[in-house]
Chain A
Amino acid sequence: MTEHLDADALADLDEGLLDRDHVASARAHVAGCPRCRAELAALTGVRERLAAAAEVEPMPAEVVARLDRALAGVAAEPASTAVTRSVIPLREPQRSSPRGLRWLQAAAVVVLVLAGGAVAVSALRGSDDNNSSASSAGGAGAVDKRADAAGAYPVTASGRHWTKTTVEAEVPRLLAGTLSPTLPPSTFSTENDTGGSGGSGGSAEAPRALAGVPAARLAGGPALADCVTELAGGPATPLAVDLATFDGQPAAVVLLPGIGGPGRVDVWVVPPDCAQGNGQFLYYANVPRP
């Protein structure tokens, strides 16, 4: 090879990315070519320039203050359960901000949605400590009730291939219910036992073959409700759920009322075993609500 190396090739050589054959010829060329040696040295200069520009001012005081406020705000959000708080607000939110109101409204929805008063009552009883009765052994019934409540939000099974870069564009469609097809949650409520092995079933033929999609195990039943509870730090009603894939993995995309006010949506992408309480999630984003 006698031609000069272009900048990409030199940078690849420098980074050790050239394959063995090309490395040998590239090295041979550079050894005898002052120009390419100079370019290689200039690449080192680029690195040095970058390193030299590393120093920036410390975080400005106004940004520090703003983050402190924001963190104090999120810390004031219910870490236990929204239901408990709405029924007996043991710890009144420090400020009657829109966020506090929003939580109360959201909690009210949860209460309304819960079929039967048993859950509300048990939540009442459990409200003098921070542990939701729903998470205790005696709360199995409550979990099921919440699963019933899951029917109150739309579950789609688009089988779509979500990625980080498409989240922003897809969320409005999911909220608008225009990701098709939309299946009633009951379709999935019997799917909890779909294949013990998560890899079973070709998910390529989504959404028709959705019964074979491991993500379907999440929908309906207590699984998704538990998962949402885990993500939201308390029972919450999703705005919408899509059973799909994310970066090629089976996943459920769960939209929750977002941090930062009514204009925001939290997007949680969770694997099918999200409900096992390990807190695993594949992706999180807080995006504007369309």
Chain B
Amino acid sequence: MTDAELLQAHAEGDPDAFGELVRRHRDRLWAVALRTLGDREEAADALQDALLSAFRAGRGAAFRGDAAPTTWLHRIVVNACLDRVRRRAARPADPLPEHDVPARGDAVGSRLTGIDVEAALRTLPVEQRSALVLVDMYGWSVEDAAQVLDCPSGTVKSRCARGRARLLPLLRDGNPEPAPDVPPQTSPSHDARQGGEPS
């Protein structure tokens, strides 16, 4: 069965169809969620939120046939990731889990593992990060990424370009310059810290 047929079967009440659809794509969805959020627990939470809402939305013929099922699944997953990041950002008392910032001079050792890439991605606003994860990392076309991100293609291009520009000092090949202190994108909590913790 094709993905679309599985989704149709799910809409018609087939109890196994959605699970099969998830099985087909779960590793890719996991990778995107993990790279977008940079945290396994967060990624697992986001995936769960996303797949439950996808399950419900797909039941009872609620599927909008305007996108390929994979695009649709990715859209829901990426949205769940973005929601998580924004929710955290809106709640200064509940900041994103701290992660290692890109280590200066440690680029060679971590290059093979992608740890430095992940850390560098975390310094970007989530809109830029999610665009780069889709387009540069996972090879989505700008048009398909625009469907996933629910924005115009031009916006995807611009987010990618600005994101690459910000990553340039962090991921420069060759002899890396010291990474500048790029402020993390969760500005509310960051600002709160800088302005003195109220509590």
Partner of A15, one of B22, B53, B158: B158
Find residues 130-165 in chain B having any chain A CB closer than 8 Å to their own CB.
132-133, 136-139, 154, 157-158, 160-162, 164-165
Q: Which residues from B are CB-within-8-Å of A205?
A: none
A-B pair count, CB < 8 Å, reads: 157
A287 to B121, CA, bound (A): 26
- Interface of A, secondary structure class, is helix
A154 to B64, CA, bound (A): 29
Q: Would you call B165 and A11 a contact (CB within 8 A)?
A: yes
The segment out of B1-9, B12-20, B186-194 that lies at the interface is B12-20
A42 contacts partner chain B, Cβ-Cβ < 8 Å: yes
With A47-B136, A50-B132 already in contact, the answer to whether A279 and B83 are too (CB < 8 A) is: no
Beyond A12-B161, A46-B171, 11 extra complex contacts between A and B, CB < 8 Å: A8-B162, A43-B165, A52-B114, A53-B35, A53-B117, A74-B56, A79-B59, A259-B52, A279-B62, A279-B64, A284-B53
Q: Would you call A79 and B157 a contact (CB within 8 A)?
A: no
Q: Which residues from B are CB-within-8-Å of A8?
A: 161-162, 165
Find residues 41-83 in chain A having any chain B CB closer than 8 Å to their own CB.
42-43, 45-47, 49-56, 58-60, 63-64, 66-68, 70-71, 74-75, 79
Indicate with 1 or 0, residue by residue over A245-279, a CB within 8 angstroms of chain B CB atoms: 00000000000000110000010000000000001
A286 contacts partner chain B, Cβ-Cβ < 8 Å: yes
A137 contacts partner chain B, Cβ-Cβ < 8 Å: no
Q: How far is the CB of B176 from chain A (nearest CB, A)?
A: 11
Q: Which residues from A are CB-within-8-Å of B64?
A: 279-280
For A15, A168, A286, the residue with the greatest tally of chain B CB atoms inside 10 Å of its CB is A15
A177 to B26, CA, bound (A): 40
Tally of B interface residues using CB under 8 Å: 61
B96 contacts partner chain A, Cβ-Cβ < 8 Å: no
With A15-B158, A64-B26, A233-B56 already in contact, the answer to whether A75 and B15 are too (CB < 8 A) is: yes
With A53-B114, A71-B51 already in contact, the answer to whether A47 and B164 are too (CB < 8 A) is: yes
B34 contacts partner chain A, Cβ-Cβ < 8 Å: yes
A7 to B167, CA, bound (A): 10
Indicate with 1 or 0, residue by residue over A1-27, a CB within 8 angstroms of chain B CB atoms: 000001110111011110000000000
Q: Would you call B48 and A15 a contact (CB within 8 A)?
A: no
Partner of A58, one of B27, B57, B136, B162: B27
The residue on B at minimum CB distance from A280 is B64
A242 contacts partner chain B, Cβ-Cβ < 8 Å: no
Q: Which residues from A are CB-within-8-Å of B111?
A: 49
Q: Would you call A17 and B22 a contact (CB within 8 A)?
A: no
Q: Which residues from A are CB-within-8-Å of B169?
A: 7
A276 to B51, CA, bound (A): 25
Q: Which residues from A are CB-within-8-Å of B55?
A: 71, 74-75
